[in-house]
Structure 1
Amino acid sequence: MNTAEVLADAFGRVQEEVHAATDGLSPEELATRPGDEANSVTWLVWHLTRVQDDHVADAAGLDQVWTTQGWSDRFGLPFGEAETGYGHTAKQVAEVRGVSADQLRGYYDAVHEQTLSFVRGLDDAALDRVVDERWTPHVTLGVRLISVISDDLQHAGQAAYVRGLLPRR
């Protein structure tokens, strides 16, 4: 496997988990929170997708799918278009609702396609390019992509856990 294939495989695993966590759930089930301070499947999948969209688009020099393909309008959330969910309060998490499984998967799949188009063209040398100088040490493309994959898989796992709690409620 080469660099591009490894990254494509990792992001493919995120896509599989997103689909598994959302498949067959109603908007009400997706928005269910196991506690007042907990995240819903909707919020978790929306957030992981927004972060992937934001971070990969920035690193690739592309526009975000959220705005260019109209997903922001379709979701109709009460936040600015740049919002990714980072640092959301419990009240803000509760506002991410009324979204269908098809919408969540559609947005994720569109981001996934843009991500794959980008990573399929990468080689080892590309991973050393600095993409964020706000940190010490500076963040390279390789570190950024692994960070996104790690964050995505954590949130997808959390969404699967919340989904597993639904029949018990």
Structure 2
Amino acid sequence: MPDIPNLPGMGNPPDTPTQLSVVVGRVLKYALRATDGLTVEQLCDTRGGITNSIGWDVWHVVRTIDNIIHFVFEREQPVWLQHNFHERWNLPRVDQGTGQDPRDAYAMRFPPPAEFDEYTRAVEAAVVPRIAAMSEAYLREVQVIRPWGPVPRIEAILHGLIGHGNGHLGRASYARTLFGLPGLPY
């Protein structure tokens, strides 16, 4: 059996905000691992225009986490806009990829992985402690989130950030193996 390192953040207190913050933090650590060791060409490769690139999947995961925690929950400016990543990289200002035309997604070009990771690290620094500080009552509050409709915030985090995010990162993990690189340690 291969030696699989311990998942980051295992064995934390069982309260809901701590668990959610640790697991969202783990998703962001996996996003960083997904880009590790890639060239720009590998980060942006769409297999001849038939699938999203690793860059797109990681960008979409991190943008979704950033957008839901900052803008959707609190109507605050996401890290994406605070740091002008959209301008620096000539990428969409508001869109995060949900419902994006595949041709537009395949055409997106991302900066070198080390630069790209700046955004993931900035979101991790902003979001993980914020989720840890959320109260149980705050997490139970229902709000309308497009395209899902009215959902409790805890469900938005569990589904939109963790479940959905890991689905995209699974695709990135598979794409890494096609490049002969190790996949993610799920």
TM-score of the superposed pair, with normalisation by structure 1: 0.88
Partner of 2:86: 72
SS at match of 1:6: helix
CA separation in 1, counterparts of 2:21 and 2:74?
15
Q: Is 1:141 aligned to 2:153, yes or no?
A: yes
Is the 1:126–1:141 contact (alpha carbons within 8 Å) kept by the matching residues of 2? yes
CA–CA separation in structure 1 for the residues paired with 2:29 and 2:148: 34
- Look up the match of 2:170: 157
Q: Do the aligned partners of residues 131 and 112 (structure 1) sit closer, same or farther apart at CA in structure 2, a change above 3 Å counting?
A: farther
Runs of 4+ in structure 1 over 4 Å off: 133-137
2:138 and 2:110 map into 1 onto residues whose CA distance is 40
Q: Map 1:2-151 onto structure 2 (within 5 A).
A: 2-57=15-70, 58-77=72-91, 79=92, 81-132=93-144, 138-147=150-159, 148-151=161-164
Q: Cα gap change, 1:163/1:133 in structure 2, threshold over 3 Å: closer, same or farther?
A: closer
CA change 1:60–1:149 in 2 (3 A) is farther
Residue ranges of structure 2 left out of the alignment (5+ in a row): 1-13, 182-186
Q: Within 2, Cα distance between the matches of 1:132 and 1:87?
A: 18
Structure 1 regions of 5+ residues with no counterpart? none
**Contact kept in structure 2, 1:75 and 1:99, CA below 8 Å:** yes
Instruction: Report Cα offsets for 1:72-106 as digits up to 9, x if no partner.
Output: 112212x3x11111122231122221421123321
Distance 2:98 2:146 in 1: 17
Secondary structure (helix, strand or coil) at the match of 2:138 reads helix
The farther-off stretch of 136-145 and 106-115 is: 136-145
| Cα distance in 2, alignment partners of residues 46 and 54 from structure 1 | 12
Q: How many residues align?
A: 166
Letter of the structure 2 residue corresponding to residue 82 of structure 1: V
- Three-state SS of the structure 1 residue aligned to 2:97 is coil
CA contact (8 A) 1:31 1:42 kept: yes
For residues 137 and 72 of structure 1, what CA distance do their matches in structure 2 show? 27
Answer whether contact 1:131 1:140 (CA < 8 A) is retained: yes
- Secondary structure, counterpart of 1:164 in structure 2: helix
